[in-house]
Structure 1
Protein backbone atom coordinates (compact mmCIF):
# COMPACT_ATOMS: atom_id res chain seq x y z
CA UNK A 1 0.00 0.00 0.00
CA UNK A 2 1.31 3.45 -0.92
CA UNK A 3 2.58 5.59 1.94
CA UNK A 4 0.64 8.83 2.38
CA UNK A 5 3.10 11.74 2.58
CA UNK A 6 2.88 13.75 5.80
CA UNK A 7 3.92 17.39 6.12
CA UNK A 8 4.68 19.22 9.38
CA UNK A 9 4.78 22.97 8.77
CA UNK A 10 5.66 25.69 11.27
CA UNK A 11 4.26 29.23 10.95
CA UNK A 12 1.47 28.12 8.63
CA UNK A 13 -0.85 31.04 9.39
CA UNK A 14 0.46 33.14 6.50
CA UNK A 15 3.11 33.51 3.81
CA UNK A 16 5.02 30.51 2.55
CA UNK A 17 3.94 28.27 5.42
CA UNK A 18 0.29 28.73 4.54
CA UNK A 19 0.85 28.48 0.77
CA UNK A 20 2.92 25.28 1.08
CA UNK A 21 0.22 23.74 3.29
CA UNK A 22 -2.49 24.51 0.72
CA UNK A 23 -0.38 23.16 -2.14
CA UNK A 24 0.29 19.90 -0.30
CA UNK A 25 -3.40 19.56 0.60
CA UNK A 26 -4.40 19.99 -3.05
CA UNK A 27 -2.15 17.05 -3.86
CA UNK A 28 -3.96 14.85 -1.36
CA UNK A 29 -1.16 14.80 1.21
CA UNK A 30 -1.60 14.85 4.97
CA UNK A 31 -0.73 18.26 6.42
CA UNK A 32 -0.08 19.15 10.04
CA UNK A 33 -0.24 22.93 10.04
CA UNK A 34 0.96 24.81 13.10
CA UNK A 35 0.91 28.34 14.46
CA UNK A 36 1.47 29.92 17.85
CA UNK A 37 -2.30 30.39 18.03
CA UNK A 38 -4.26 27.61 16.33
CA UNK A 39 -7.23 29.92 15.86
CA UNK A 40 -5.21 31.67 13.14
CA UNK A 41 -5.13 28.55 10.94
CA UNK A 42 -8.79 27.62 10.92
CA UNK A 43 -8.82 28.24 7.17
CA UNK A 44 -6.34 25.39 6.79
CA UNK A 45 -8.42 23.19 9.09
CA UNK A 46 -11.40 23.87 6.83
CA UNK A 47 -9.24 22.87 3.85
CA UNK A 48 -8.46 19.51 5.49
CA UNK A 49 -5.30 20.14 7.49
CA UNK A 50 -4.69 18.88 11.00
CA UNK A 51 -3.96 21.97 13.10
CA UNK A 52 -1.81 22.36 16.17
CA UNK A 53 -0.68 25.20 18.42
CA UNK A 54 3.11 25.22 18.25
CA UNK A 55 5.70 27.82 19.24
CA UNK A 56 9.24 27.19 17.98
CA UNK A 57 10.64 29.20 20.91
CA UNK A 58 9.24 26.70 23.43
CA UNK A 59 11.74 24.70 25.51
CA UNK A 60 13.29 21.76 23.67
CA UNK A 61 11.49 19.33 25.98
CA UNK A 62 8.13 20.81 24.94
CA UNK A 63 9.02 20.54 21.25
CA UNK A 64 10.14 16.94 21.78
CA UNK A 65 6.73 16.25 23.32
CA UNK A 66 5.02 17.67 20.23
CA UNK A 67 7.18 15.52 17.96
CA UNK A 68 6.33 12.42 19.98
CA UNK A 69 2.62 13.25 19.76
CA UNK A 70 2.79 13.84 15.98
CA UNK A 71 4.50 10.53 15.29
CA UNK A 72 2.14 8.68 17.63
CA UNK A 73 -0.86 10.07 15.74
CA UNK A 74 0.44 10.08 12.16
CA UNK A 75 3.22 7.49 12.13
CA UNK A 76 5.70 9.55 10.13
CA UNK A 77 6.72 12.98 8.86
CA UNK A 78 7.98 13.06 5.29
CA UNK A 79 8.44 16.81 5.00
CA UNK A 80 9.55 18.95 7.94
CA UNK A 81 9.11 22.59 6.91
CA UNK A 82 10.64 25.25 9.17
CA UNK A 83 8.94 28.44 7.97
CA UNK A 84 8.90 30.43 11.23
CA UNK A 85 10.79 33.71 11.10
CA UNK A 86 10.53 37.49 11.04
CA UNK A 87 12.59 40.51 10.08
CA UNK A 88 14.14 42.79 12.70
CA UNK A 89 14.60 46.22 11.14
CA UNK A 90 17.26 48.39 12.72
CA UNK A 91 20.92 49.26 12.42
CA UNK A 92 23.49 47.19 14.30
CA UNK A 93 24.05 50.10 16.67
CA UNK A 94 20.33 50.44 17.43
CA UNK A 95 19.25 46.86 18.09
CA UNK A 96 19.36 45.75 21.73
CA UNK A 97 20.86 42.44 22.91
CA UNK A 98 17.33 41.29 23.82
CA UNK A 99 16.01 42.10 20.33
CA UNK A 100 18.91 40.27 18.73
CA UNK A 101 18.38 37.23 20.95
CA UNK A 102 14.63 37.14 20.22
CA UNK A 103 15.34 37.25 16.49
CA UNK A 104 17.85 34.40 16.67
CA UNK A 105 15.56 32.48 19.04
CA UNK A 106 12.77 32.36 16.46
CA UNK A 107 14.72 32.32 13.21
CA UNK A 108 17.61 30.02 14.18
CA UNK A 109 17.36 28.35 17.60
CA UNK A 110 13.68 27.49 17.12
CA UNK A 111 14.43 25.88 13.78
CA UNK A 112 17.35 23.94 15.26
CA UNK A 113 15.29 22.66 18.18
CA UNK A 114 12.43 21.61 15.92
CA UNK A 115 14.83 19.70 13.69
CA UNK A 116 16.55 18.11 16.72
CA UNK A 117 13.22 16.96 18.15
CA UNK A 118 11.90 15.44 14.92
CA UNK A 119 15.05 13.81 13.54
CA UNK A 120 15.20 10.76 15.84
CA UNK A 121 11.70 9.80 14.72
CA UNK A 122 12.41 10.53 11.06
CA UNK A 123 15.57 8.42 11.10
CA UNK A 124 13.56 5.51 12.51
CA UNK A 125 10.66 5.66 10.05
CA UNK A 126 10.42 3.40 6.97
CA UNK A 127 11.48 4.65 3.56
CA UNK A 128 8.77 6.29 1.49
CA UNK A 129 7.79 4.89 -1.89
CA UNK A 130 10.37 7.13 -3.59
CA UNK A 131 13.22 5.63 -1.56
CA UNK A 132 13.62 8.72 0.63
CA UNK A 133 13.09 8.54 4.37
CA UNK A 134 12.22 12.22 4.71
CA UNK A 135 13.05 15.81 3.79
CA UNK A 136 14.05 18.66 6.12
CA UNK A 137 13.70 22.22 4.81
CA UNK A 138 14.93 25.37 6.50
CA UNK A 139 14.13 28.88 5.28
CA UNK A 140 16.96 31.15 4.27
CA UNK A 141 16.46 34.20 2.09
CA UNK A 142 17.94 36.49 -0.49
CA UNK A 143 19.37 37.92 2.72
CA UNK A 144 21.38 34.71 3.15
CA UNK A 145 23.66 36.08 0.43
CA UNK A 146 23.77 39.80 1.13
CA UNK A 147 24.15 41.78 4.31
CA UNK A 148 22.47 45.17 4.04
CA UNK A 149 22.17 48.35 6.07
CA UNK A 150 19.07 48.35 8.24
CA UNK A 151 18.46 44.61 8.58
CA UNK A 152 21.86 43.14 9.37
CA UNK A 153 20.50 40.92 12.17
CA UNK A 154 17.95 39.39 9.81
CA UNK A 155 20.70 38.61 7.30
CA UNK A 156 22.79 37.10 10.09
CA UNK A 157 19.97 34.72 11.02
CA UNK A 158 19.33 33.74 7.41
CA UNK A 159 23.01 33.03 6.77
CA UNK A 160 22.75 30.73 9.78
CA UNK A 161 19.71 28.94 8.35
CA UNK A 162 21.47 28.39 5.04
CA UNK A 163 24.53 27.00 6.83
CA UNK A 164 22.21 24.79 8.88
CA UNK A 165 20.55 23.42 5.75
CA UNK A 166 23.88 22.69 4.06
CA UNK A 167 25.26 20.99 7.18
CA UNK A 168 22.14 18.87 7.61
CA UNK A 169 22.34 17.75 3.98
CA UNK A 170 25.75 16.19 4.68
CA UNK A 171 24.85 14.77 8.09
CA UNK A 172 21.58 13.17 7.03
CA UNK A 173 22.63 11.72 3.67
CA UNK A 174 23.60 8.29 5.15
CA UNK A 175 20.06 7.95 6.56
CA UNK A 176 18.37 8.69 3.22
CA UNK A 177 17.00 11.95 4.62
CA UNK A 178 17.43 14.96 2.35
CA UNK A 179 17.91 18.52 3.56
CA UNK A 180 17.76 21.83 1.74
CA UNK A 181 17.44 25.53 2.41
CA UNK A 182 14.75 27.55 0.65
CA UNK A 183 16.04 31.01 -0.32
CA UNK A 184 13.27 33.27 -1.63
CA UNK A 185 13.67 36.82 -2.81
CA UNK A 186 11.02 39.45 -2.13
CA UNK A 187 7.62 37.73 -2.29
CA UNK A 188 4.26 39.39 -1.85
CA UNK A 189 3.43 38.17 1.64
CA UNK A 190 2.64 40.05 4.83
CA UNK A 191 6.29 39.77 5.90
CA UNK A 192 6.98 43.51 5.62
CA UNK A 193 3.60 44.66 6.93
CA UNK A 194 3.87 47.16 9.80
CA UNK A 195 2.05 44.68 12.07
CA UNK A 196 4.49 41.87 11.23
CA UNK A 197 7.78 43.68 10.76
CA UNK A 198 9.65 44.31 14.02
CA UNK A 199 11.71 47.48 14.37
CA UNK A 200 14.29 48.26 17.01
CA UNK A 201 12.90 50.29 19.89
CA UNK A 202 15.97 52.53 19.97
CA UNK A 203 16.38 54.99 17.12
CA UNK A 204 19.58 56.94 16.46
CA UNK A 205 19.06 60.18 14.57
CA UNK A 206 22.17 59.61 12.45
CA UNK A 207 20.54 56.55 10.86
CA UNK A 208 17.22 58.31 10.23
CA UNK A 209 18.99 60.53 7.70
CA UNK A 210 17.59 59.68 4.26
CA UNK A 211 21.04 60.08 2.76
CA UNK A 212 22.47 57.15 4.75
CA UNK A 213 22.10 53.54 3.53
CA UNK A 214 20.06 52.72 6.65
CA UNK A 215 17.72 55.65 6.11
CA UNK A 216 17.22 54.63 2.48
CA UNK A 217 16.46 51.06 3.55
CA UNK A 218 13.77 52.24 5.98
CA UNK A 219 11.96 54.11 3.26
CA UNK A 220 12.46 51.33 0.71
CA UNK A 221 10.81 48.77 3.01
CA UNK A 222 7.66 50.89 3.16
CA UNK A 223 7.56 51.22 -0.63
CA UNK A 224 8.31 47.52 -1.18
CA UNK A 225 5.55 46.24 1.14
CA UNK A 226 2.75 44.97 -1.09
CA UNK A 227 4.77 45.51 -4.26
CA UNK A 228 7.20 42.60 -4.02
CA UNK A 229 8.19 40.84 -7.23
CA UNK A 230 7.44 37.26 -6.18
CA UNK A 231 4.12 35.42 -6.28
CA UNK A 232 3.93 33.28 -3.13
CA UNK A 233 1.48 30.77 -4.66
CA UNK A 234 3.82 30.14 -7.59
CA UNK A 235 6.76 29.90 -5.21
CA UNK A 236 4.98 27.39 -2.98
CA UNK A 237 4.09 25.18 -5.95
CA UNK A 238 7.74 25.08 -6.99
CA UNK A 239 8.83 24.32 -3.40
CA UNK A 240 6.43 21.38 -3.10
CA UNK A 241 7.48 20.11 -6.54
CA UNK A 242 11.16 20.29 -5.65
CA UNK A 243 10.85 18.74 -2.21
CA UNK A 244 8.77 15.87 -3.60
CA UNK A 245 10.67 15.53 -6.93
CA UNK A 246 7.47 15.99 -8.90
CA UNK A 247 6.20 18.50 -11.46
CA UNK A 248 9.01 20.83 -12.56
CA UNK A 249 11.45 18.77 -10.48
CA UNK A 250 10.40 15.36 -11.74
CA UNK A 251 13.42 13.11 -12.19
CA UNK A 252 15.80 15.64 -10.60
CA UNK A 253 17.77 15.50 -7.36
CA UNK A 254 16.83 17.99 -4.65
CA UNK A 255 19.51 20.72 -4.63
CA UNK A 256 20.99 21.88 -1.34
CA UNK A 257 19.54 25.36 -2.08
CA UNK A 258 16.09 26.06 -3.51
CA UNK A 259 16.44 29.63 -4.83
CA UNK A 260 13.29 31.49 -5.82
CA UNK A 261 12.85 34.75 -7.68
CA UNK A 262 14.87 36.60 -10.31
CA UNK A 263 15.92 39.07 -7.60
CA UNK A 264 17.59 36.26 -5.66
CA UNK A 265 19.27 35.04 -8.84
CA UNK A 266 20.74 38.52 -9.45
CA UNK A 267 21.97 38.89 -5.86
CA UNK A 268 23.65 35.46 -5.95
CA UNK A 269 25.29 36.06 -9.34
CA UNK A 270 26.52 39.48 -8.19
CA UNK A 271 27.85 37.90 -4.98
CA UNK A 272 29.82 35.30 -6.93
CA UNK A 273 31.23 37.94 -9.29
CA UNK A 274 32.29 40.29 -6.49
CA UNK A 275 33.78 37.43 -4.45
CA UNK A 276 35.78 36.13 -7.41
CA UNK A 277 36.98 39.71 -7.93
CA UNK A 278 38.30 39.77 -4.37
CA UNK A 279 39.99 36.40 -4.84
CA UNK A 280 41.63 37.52 -8.08
CA UNK A 281 42.85 40.85 -6.70
CA UNK A 282 44.25 39.40 -3.49
CA UNK A 283 45.21 35.87 -4.56
CA UNK A 284 48.96 36.31 -3.94
CA UNK A 285 48.35 37.70 -0.46
CA UNK A 286 45.80 34.98 0.28
CA UNK A 287 48.24 32.26 -0.73
CA UNK A 288 51.19 33.87 1.09
CA UNK A 289 49.83 32.78 4.47
CA UNK A 290 50.20 29.05 3.77
CA UNK A 291 52.90 27.07 5.58
CA UNK A 292 55.80 25.94 3.33
CA UNK A 293 55.34 22.51 1.82
CA UNK A 294 57.64 19.86 3.31
Structure 2
Protein backbone atom coordinates (compact mmCIF):
# COMPACT_ATOMS: atom_id res chain seq x y z
CA UNK A 1 0.00 0.00 0.00
CA UNK A 2 1.41 3.40 -0.96
CA UNK A 3 1.57 5.81 1.94
CA UNK A 4 0.16 9.32 1.68
CA UNK A 5 2.54 12.13 0.64
CA UNK A 6 4.38 13.32 3.71
CA UNK A 7 4.04 17.07 3.93
CA UNK A 8 2.25 17.15 7.25
CA UNK A 9 3.44 17.94 10.76
CA UNK A 10 6.93 16.95 11.85
CA UNK A 11 7.02 14.42 14.68
CA UNK A 12 10.13 13.17 16.44
CA UNK A 13 9.79 9.96 18.45
CA UNK A 14 12.35 8.42 20.79
CA UNK A 15 12.72 4.70 21.40
CA UNK A 16 11.41 3.45 18.06
CA UNK A 17 13.09 0.05 17.81
CA UNK A 18 10.06 -1.65 19.43
CA UNK A 19 6.74 -0.96 21.12
CA UNK A 20 4.78 2.28 20.99
CA UNK A 21 7.63 4.19 19.36
CA UNK A 22 7.67 1.84 16.40
CA UNK A 23 3.87 1.74 16.10
CA UNK A 24 3.56 5.50 16.38
CA UNK A 25 6.16 5.92 13.65
CA UNK A 26 4.34 3.64 11.22
CA UNK A 27 0.93 5.17 11.91
CA UNK A 28 2.31 8.70 11.60
CA UNK A 29 3.94 7.84 8.27
CA UNK A 30 0.64 6.47 6.99
CA UNK A 31 -1.04 9.73 8.10
CA UNK A 32 1.38 11.84 6.05
CA UNK A 33 3.50 13.05 8.95
CA UNK A 34 7.16 13.78 8.43
CA UNK A 35 8.62 11.35 10.93
CA UNK A 36 11.99 11.39 12.65
CA UNK A 37 12.45 8.03 14.37
CA UNK A 38 15.26 7.45 16.84
CA UNK A 39 16.83 4.58 18.73
CA UNK A 40 20.13 3.64 20.30
CA UNK A 41 20.69 1.19 17.44
CA UNK A 42 19.75 2.74 14.09
CA UNK A 43 19.95 -0.66 12.39
CA UNK A 44 16.73 -1.52 14.25
CA UNK A 45 14.99 1.25 12.29
CA UNK A 46 15.59 -0.13 8.80
CA UNK A 47 11.90 -0.83 8.14
CA UNK A 48 10.96 2.69 9.20
CA UNK A 49 13.62 4.19 6.96
CA UNK A 50 12.33 2.16 4.02
CA UNK A 51 8.84 3.44 4.77
CA UNK A 52 10.07 7.04 4.58
CA UNK A 53 11.12 8.03 8.08
CA UNK A 54 14.26 9.98 8.78
CA UNK A 55 16.26 7.96 11.29
CA UNK A 56 18.75 9.21 13.84
CA UNK A 57 20.79 7.57 16.57
CA UNK A 58 19.88 8.70 20.07
CA UNK A 59 20.78 7.35 23.47
CA UNK A 60 18.72 9.43 25.91
CA UNK A 61 21.19 8.63 28.69
CA UNK A 62 23.99 10.43 26.80
CA UNK A 63 25.46 13.65 28.26
CA UNK A 64 23.37 16.77 27.74
CA UNK A 65 25.96 18.16 25.30
CA UNK A 66 25.43 15.19 22.98
CA UNK A 67 21.65 15.40 23.30
CA UNK A 68 21.78 19.13 22.47
CA UNK A 69 23.85 18.36 19.37
CA UNK A 70 21.32 15.70 18.40
CA UNK A 71 18.43 18.16 18.73
CA UNK A 72 20.22 20.72 16.54
CA UNK A 73 20.73 18.03 13.89
CA UNK A 74 17.13 16.84 14.09
CA UNK A 75 15.74 20.38 13.87
CA UNK A 76 17.64 21.05 10.65
CA UNK A 77 16.05 18.10 8.81
CA UNK A 78 12.73 19.89 8.23
CA UNK A 79 13.47 23.28 9.78
CA UNK A 80 11.27 22.59 12.79
CA UNK A 81 9.60 19.90 14.92
CA UNK A 82 5.92 20.08 15.82
CA UNK A 83 5.60 17.07 18.13
CA UNK A 84 8.18 15.56 20.46
CA UNK A 85 7.19 12.10 21.68
CA UNK A 86 9.29 10.92 24.61
CA UNK A 87 8.82 7.17 24.43
CA UNK A 88 12.25 5.66 25.19
CA UNK A 89 12.26 3.56 28.34
CA UNK A 90 12.09 0.11 29.86
CA UNK A 91 10.58 -1.69 32.87
CA UNK A 92 12.72 -2.48 35.91
CA UNK A 93 10.92 -5.16 37.92
CA UNK A 94 11.14 -6.98 41.21
CA UNK A 95 10.49 -5.83 44.75
CA UNK A 96 12.01 -2.43 45.46
CA UNK A 97 14.53 -3.97 47.86
CA UNK A 98 15.72 -6.37 45.16
CA UNK A 99 17.00 -3.59 42.91
CA UNK A 100 20.58 -2.47 43.34
CA UNK A 101 21.42 1.25 43.52
CA UNK A 102 23.01 0.94 40.07
CA UNK A 103 19.83 -0.59 38.61
CA UNK A 104 17.66 2.11 40.18
CA UNK A 105 19.91 4.84 38.82
CA UNK A 106 19.89 3.34 35.33
CA UNK A 107 16.07 3.14 35.40
CA UNK A 108 15.80 6.80 36.30
CA UNK A 109 18.56 7.82 33.90
CA UNK A 110 16.57 6.30 31.05
CA UNK A 111 12.94 6.89 32.00
CA UNK A 112 13.26 10.26 33.75
CA UNK A 113 16.55 12.11 33.26
CA UNK A 114 16.81 11.11 29.61
CA UNK A 115 13.31 12.43 29.00
CA UNK A 116 14.09 15.56 31.00
CA UNK A 117 17.31 16.31 29.13
CA UNK A 118 15.80 15.62 25.72
CA UNK A 119 12.83 17.88 26.38
CA UNK A 120 14.95 20.68 27.84
CA UNK A 121 17.18 20.55 24.76
CA UNK A 122 14.13 21.08 22.53
CA UNK A 123 12.54 23.85 24.61
CA UNK A 124 14.64 26.79 23.33
CA UNK A 125 13.55 25.90 19.79
CA UNK A 126 9.90 25.50 20.78
CA UNK A 127 9.93 28.77 22.75
CA UNK A 128 11.51 30.69 19.88
CA UNK A 129 8.87 29.33 17.53
CA UNK A 130 6.05 29.78 20.08
CA UNK A 131 4.76 26.33 19.16
CA UNK A 132 5.27 22.67 19.97
CA UNK A 133 3.64 19.73 21.69
CA UNK A 134 5.41 17.39 24.10
CA UNK A 135 3.91 13.92 24.44
CA UNK A 136 5.35 11.85 27.27
CA UNK A 137 4.61 8.13 27.24
CA UNK A 138 4.16 7.24 30.89
CA UNK A 139 2.16 4.34 32.35
CA UNK A 140 -0.87 3.67 34.51
CA UNK A 141 1.74 2.41 36.96
CA UNK A 142 2.78 6.00 37.62
CA UNK A 143 -0.42 6.32 39.66
CA UNK A 144 -1.19 2.71 40.60
CA UNK A 145 2.25 1.96 42.13
CA UNK A 146 2.20 -1.74 41.32
CA UNK A 147 3.93 -4.29 43.50
CA UNK A 148 6.82 -5.94 41.71
CA UNK A 149 7.44 -2.82 39.63
CA UNK A 150 7.95 -0.15 42.26
CA UNK A 151 11.09 1.37 40.73
CA UNK A 152 9.50 1.54 37.28
CA UNK A 153 6.30 3.04 38.69
CA UNK A 154 8.29 5.63 40.64
CA UNK A 155 10.04 6.67 37.43
CA UNK A 156 6.72 7.03 35.65
CA UNK A 157 5.28 9.01 38.56
CA UNK A 158 8.18 11.41 38.05
CA UNK A 159 7.33 11.62 34.34
CA UNK A 160 3.71 12.45 35.21
CA UNK A 161 4.81 15.15 37.63
CA UNK A 162 7.23 16.72 35.16
CA UNK A 163 4.55 16.67 32.47
CA UNK A 164 1.99 18.37 34.70
CA UNK A 165 4.42 21.16 35.55
CA UNK A 166 5.64 21.63 31.99
CA UNK A 167 2.03 21.99 30.81
CA UNK A 168 1.64 24.95 33.18
CA UNK A 169 5.10 26.50 32.77
CA UNK A 170 5.09 26.38 28.98
CA UNK A 171 1.52 27.55 28.34
CA UNK A 172 2.70 31.16 28.00
CA UNK A 173 4.83 30.06 25.03
CA UNK A 174 1.95 28.19 23.35
CA UNK A 175 3.70 24.90 24.07
CA UNK A 176 1.53 21.98 25.14
CA UNK A 177 2.48 18.96 27.20
CA UNK A 178 0.58 15.78 28.05
CA UNK A 179 1.36 12.53 29.81
CA UNK A 180 -0.12 9.39 28.23
CA UNK A 181 -0.80 6.59 30.75
CA UNK A 182 -1.17 3.30 28.86
CA UNK A 183 -2.45 0.09 30.36
CA UNK A 184 -1.45 -3.33 29.06
CA UNK A 185 -0.72 -3.46 25.33
CA UNK A 186 0.65 -6.24 23.17
CA UNK A 187 4.05 -4.72 22.49
CA UNK A 188 7.59 -5.96 22.96
CA UNK A 189 7.78 -4.41 26.43
CA UNK A 190 8.16 -7.90 27.88
CA UNK A 191 11.23 -8.69 25.78
CA UNK A 192 14.45 -9.19 27.70
CA UNK A 193 15.73 -5.83 26.43
CA UNK A 194 12.66 -3.98 27.71
CA UNK A 195 11.96 -5.67 31.04
CA UNK A 196 14.59 -6.43 33.63
CA UNK A 197 14.42 -7.89 37.11
CA UNK A 198 16.41 -6.66 40.06
CA UNK A 199 19.56 -8.73 40.38
CA UNK A 200 19.54 -8.73 44.19
CA UNK A 201 16.81 -11.38 44.39
CA UNK A 202 15.84 -12.15 47.98
CA UNK A 203 14.44 -15.63 48.81
CA UNK A 204 11.88 -14.25 51.27
CA UNK A 205 10.06 -12.49 48.42
CA UNK A 206 9.54 -15.77 46.56
CA UNK A 207 5.80 -16.35 46.21
CA UNK A 208 4.83 -12.91 47.54
CA UNK A 209 2.68 -10.40 45.67
CA UNK A 210 5.68 -8.64 44.15
CA UNK A 211 7.09 -11.93 42.86
CA UNK A 212 3.76 -13.16 41.49
CA UNK A 213 3.04 -9.89 39.70
CA UNK A 214 6.37 -9.99 37.90
CA UNK A 215 6.02 -13.67 36.99
CA UNK A 216 2.42 -13.25 35.83
CA UNK A 217 3.30 -10.16 33.82
CA UNK A 218 6.04 -12.00 31.98
CA UNK A 219 3.80 -15.02 31.41
CA UNK A 220 1.06 -12.86 29.85
CA UNK A 221 3.42 -11.40 27.27
CA UNK A 222 1.83 -11.65 23.84
CA UNK A 223 -1.72 -12.02 25.16
CA UNK A 224 -2.40 -8.47 26.37
CA UNK A 225 -5.82 -7.11 25.37
CA UNK A 226 -4.53 -3.76 24.07
CA UNK A 227 -3.81 -3.28 20.36
CA UNK A 228 -0.76 -0.98 20.03
CA UNK A 229 -1.72 0.13 16.51
CA UNK A 230 -5.13 1.31 17.73
CA UNK A 231 -3.37 3.01 20.63
CA UNK A 232 -1.02 4.82 18.24
CA UNK A 233 -4.00 6.08 16.22
CA UNK A 234 -5.70 7.31 19.41
CA UNK A 235 -2.57 9.15 20.57
CA UNK A 236 -1.94 10.87 17.24
CA UNK A 237 -5.57 11.84 16.73
CA UNK A 238 -5.86 13.18 20.26
CA UNK A 239 -2.70 15.29 20.36
CA UNK A 240 -3.36 16.73 16.90
CA UNK A 241 -6.70 18.11 18.03
CA UNK A 242 -9.27 15.55 16.95
CA UNK A 243 -10.96 15.90 20.35
CA UNK A 244 -11.46 19.60 19.63
CA UNK A 245 -10.42 20.60 23.15
CA UNK A 246 -7.35 21.67 25.05
CA UNK A 247 -5.15 18.79 26.12
CA UNK A 248 -5.66 17.50 29.66
CA UNK A 249 -2.63 16.96 31.85
CA UNK A 250 -2.93 13.18 31.53
CA UNK A 251 -4.74 10.69 29.31
CA UNK A 252 -5.37 7.09 30.43
CA UNK A 253 -5.03 4.82 27.40
CA UNK A 254 -6.81 1.50 27.16
CA UNK A 255 -9.94 0.08 28.75
CA UNK A 256 -7.95 -1.32 31.66
CA UNK A 257 -6.09 1.93 32.29
CA UNK A 258 -9.31 3.96 32.25
CA UNK A 259 -11.07 1.71 34.74
CA UNK A 260 -8.03 1.18 36.96
CA UNK A 261 -7.13 4.85 37.14
CA UNK A 262 -10.73 5.93 37.70
CA UNK A 263 -11.01 3.50 40.63
CA UNK A 264 -7.68 4.76 41.97
CA UNK A 265 -8.75 8.41 42.00
CA UNK A 266 -12.21 7.64 43.40
CA UNK A 267 -10.61 5.75 46.30
CA UNK A 268 -8.13 8.56 46.95
CA UNK A 269 -10.95 11.10 47.13
CA UNK A 270 -12.89 8.84 49.49
CA UNK A 271 -9.81 8.50 51.72
CA UNK A 272 -9.37 12.28 51.81
CA UNK A 273 -12.95 12.79 52.95
CA UNK A 274 -12.74 9.95 55.47
CA UNK A 275 -9.67 11.40 57.17
CA UNK A 276 -10.44 15.07 56.60
CA UNK A 277 -10.54 15.82 60.33
CA UNK A 278 -6.88 14.77 60.56
CA UNK A 279 -5.84 16.94 57.61
CA UNK A 280 -7.41 20.25 58.67
CA UNK A 281 -7.28 22.35 61.83
CA UNK A 282 -3.59 23.20 61.65
CA UNK A 283 -3.81 26.96 60.97
CA UNK A 284 -2.86 29.57 63.57
CA UNK A 285 -5.80 30.62 65.74
Q: Which residue of 2 aligns with 1:227?
A: 223
Q: Which residue of 2 aligns with 1:262?
A: 255
How many equivalent pairs are there? Answer: 280
Q: 1:93 and 2:97 equivalent?
A: yes
CA deviation map 1:212-238 (0-9, x unaligned)? 211221221122211112110000000
Contact 2:149–2:214 under 8 Å retained in 1: no
2:211 to 207, 212, 215: 215
Contact 1:187–1:231 under 8 Å retained in 2: yes
CA distance in 2, matches of 1:74, 1:121: 13
1:242 to 234, 238, 241: 238
CA distance in 2, matches of 1:124, 1:49: 26
Alignment of 1:61-80 (within 5 A): 61-80=65-84
C-alpha root-mean-square deviation of aligned residues, in Å?
Answer: 1.5
Q: 1:112 and 2:116 equivalent?
A: yes
CA distance in 1, matches of 2:194, 2:177: 28
CA deviation map 1:111-152 (0-9, x unaligned)? 000001011011112x6xxxxx11001111110111122110
CA distance in 1, matches of 2:82, 2:232: 17
TM-score, normalising length: structure 2: 0.94
CA distance in 1, matches of 2:192, 2:121: 33
Q: 1:202 and 2:200 equivalent?
A: yes
Q: Which residue of 2 aligns with 1:82?
A: 86
TM-score, normalising length: structure 1: 0.92
Q: Which residue of 1 aligns with 2:13?
A: 9
1:92 CA displacement? 1.3
1:254 CA displacement? 2.0
1:27 CA displacement? 1.4
1:24 CA displacement? 1.1
1:195 CA displacement? 4.2
Q: 1:161 and 2:159 equivalent?
A: yes
Contact 1:145–1:267 under 8 Å retained in 2: no
Give the gaps of 5 or more residues in structure 1: 128-132
Contact 2:94–2:211 under 8 Å retained in 1: no
1:194 CA displacement? 3.4
Q: Which residue of 2 aligns with 1:181?
A: 179
CA distance in 2, matches of 1:143, 1:182: 11
Give the gaps of 5 or more residues in structure 2: 1-6
Contact 2:13–2:86 under 8 Å retained in 1: yes
Q: Which residue of 1 aligns with 2:246?
A: 253
CA distance in 2, matches of 1:9, 1:113: 15
